[in-house]
Every structure is written in C-alpha cells, then in structure tokens.
Amino acid sequence: MRDNRVTVVINTLNRRDHLRRTLVALLQQTQSAFEVVVVNGPSTDGTAELLDQFALRVRQFTCDEANLGRSRNIGVRQAAGDLVAFIDDDAIPPPDWLELLVPCFDDEHVGAVGGPVFDVPLGRIDWNICTSTRLGAVNTNSPAPISMYTRAGSDPFPYLAGCNMAFRRSALQEVGGFNSMLSYGYDDVDVCCRINDAGHRIEYVEGAVVHHDRAASAIRDEQFVITDPYVLLRSRVVFAMQSASSTHSRTAIALCTRDWAREWGSYSFMHVESGNFSLAEHEWFVARAAAGVAEGIEWGREHRPFTFIGPPPVGEFRPYRDAMIAR
C-alpha cells in the first residue's frame, strides 16, 4: 500500500453538538496518517468556540456564506494530504473507514472512492451504489457493479454520497474543484460527473459504512421534512443545464424543470394532508419551488466556474490522532 497522507474535510454550519461527536469519533480511526480540516460557515451556535477546544488537533478555516460548494473548495485548497476525504458534520465513521477507502488509490486510475451511508433515523442503509442522469435524476440503490457506469460521458454516471467520499487531490485540481454555484445539493453529483468524464475511475467500498444522523438544517426540520425547496431545485436545474447541454436542448431541459416543480408541489400538498403544512405554507412552498427553478435556469446559462485549487500547503500537515489532546 502506498504511503498516502489523507485530509479529512468537514464542512459545518450551526451543528456544534453533532460536530463534536464526529470529531471524537475520528479519534478512533485505525489509519494513522490523516489530518482534519474543518471549514466553519457563518455559524452562530458556538461552533467556533468548540473548534477552539480542538485547536491543537484541527486545522480550521471559515467560509463567510452558507455555500457548500465554496466551503468544500476552501477545504480542498487547504488540504495538505494527497487524498481528500469528506464526512458530514452529523455523521459517524467506523474506525476502519479510512483504512478501507485509502488502499483503492493504489491504482493510479482511481480518482474517487466512497461507501454506503446508513440513515440513522430510518434505521437502514439508504445510499449504496449511487448514479445520476445528466438531468439530475438520482438513484441511490443502483444495480452493481459500479464499473458498468464508469466511462467518460456515461449517462447515468456514478457519484458518491457527499458524507462518505474521498478524492485524489490532484483529480479535484484537474477538474476545477466543486461547483460554487451549487450552494446546497448536487455538489457531490456534479464533481463526480466531471471526475468520471475526465477519465478517473470511481470506486465503491461496500464495507466503509458511515452512519448519518441527518440533523436539521435551514431547509429541513427535525422530522426530516423539507421546508424550503428553493436551493435544492435551483441546484438541480443548474446542474442539468450545465451537464446535459450536449444531449438536451435548453428548451427540453426547461420543460423538465416544470415537472420537477410540480413534483415538489405534490410533496408539499402531501404534508398539508398529513397536517405538517397549512395551506398558506403550501402556497409559499410552491412559490419557492417556482422561484428556485427560475433562478436555476438563469444561473444555468452561465459556464460552470473553474476553481483554481493550487498545490497543497507545505509543512501544514497535522496528524490528528498524534496531536496534543484537546483542551
């Protein structure tokens, strides 16, 4: 096995208590040569103070807006490792998580590796082999093997769940990092699409299961109900317009977006019938879906931004397990 150094990146926003559990769990990793980089968004819940407690272990940086694509790029740019692994701030890896993923990169043709995600609230694995079409229709339980999807230009193509994925840093640099237009949703799909099209193989390790709590966020409540579809729809539309332009006309893609907005409207009305939403909230939800589609169409006309990653910082690698114990 090659002596690859790994940077684990955690992008966080207002999840202090969940983040603490993730940081503690990473101390149990059997892989020794890894560092942890945390990129904190505009958190207001004491996350910065928590990170101060881990200052001797964690290299910490900030992102001044709630933009996951941009936050991920900050983490990649600051990564001193040859490999960059991502785990969510509300996820727990098994002790052998990195030990299972890293050996796949001994094959120089492999650009990305990931594993399943166990959905804690549902009590089951809900993300296995994941694929997406160029229009953003995802399947998180696609038939095996993943190799039948891994060819440049494939449709569908393989992607990795955002809370359980690792990349060769040089591959991310080659494709221009994550799409900063995708502030939430489809950031993982989009980057894997470009990694695949660049000729890098994407692998799947069945045993590398990450447990995901699915904590509440700005778009999802404590019962895991989507309360605002705006950003999710905008991201899907942007992804589709930028990724399917060679196979679908913009008019055809725009027609598809109407169906997506209607699907979200049906989702909202289902929650009216179950008592989760009022009619007024449903009307607001439908309007937000339409607005997300409209902005996605406008943004999707622009070229996907290419983020310059640059070489890894020299002398900054800080072994997480070997650092002095957090205060």
Which residue segments constitute the domains of the chain, with CATH numbers given? 6-212 (3.90.550.10), 230-300 (no CATH)
Cα–Cα distance, 185 to 119 (Å, whole number): 17
Q: What tokens were used for 30? A: 């059997």
Q: Is residue 325 predicted with pLDDT exceeding 70?
A: no
Is the pTM for the entire model greater than 0.85?
Answer: yes
pLDDT tens by residue, 15-71: 999 999 999 999 999 998 999 999 999 999 999 999 999 999 999 999 999 999 999
Cα–Cα distance, 126 to 131 (Å, whole number): 13
Confidence bin at 3 (pLDDT 50/70/90): confident
Which residues are CB-neighbours of 225 under 8 A, at least 6 positions away?
A: 271, 276
First-to-last CA distance in the chain? 35
Q: What tokens were used for 304? A: 């996907």
Residue 226, strand partner residues: 220
Identify the residue with better confidence: 282 or 324: 282
Confidence bin at 246 (pLDDT 50/70/90): confident
Tell me the C-alpha to C-alpha distance, in Å, between residue 97 and each of 29, 60, 100, 255, 326: 7, 22, 5, 42, 22
User: Tell me, what amino acid is at 48?
Assistant: A
Cα–Cα distance, 128 to 205 (Å, whole number): 9
How many Cα atoms within 13 Å fall on the side-chain side of residue 67? 14
Which residues are CB-neighbours of 55 under 8 A, at least 6 positions away?
A: 326, 327
pLDDT tens by residue, 104-156: 999 999 999 999 999 999 999 999 999 999 999 999 999 999 999 999 999 99
pLDDT tens by residue, 152-190: 999 999 999 999 999 999 999 999 999 999 999 999 999
Question: pLDDT value at position 326?
Answer: 40
Cβ contact 43:9 at 8 Å:
no
| CA angle, residues 182, 184, 187, in degrees to nearest 5 | 55
Token pair 């000729």: residue: 199
Question: pLDDT value at position 107?
Answer: 98
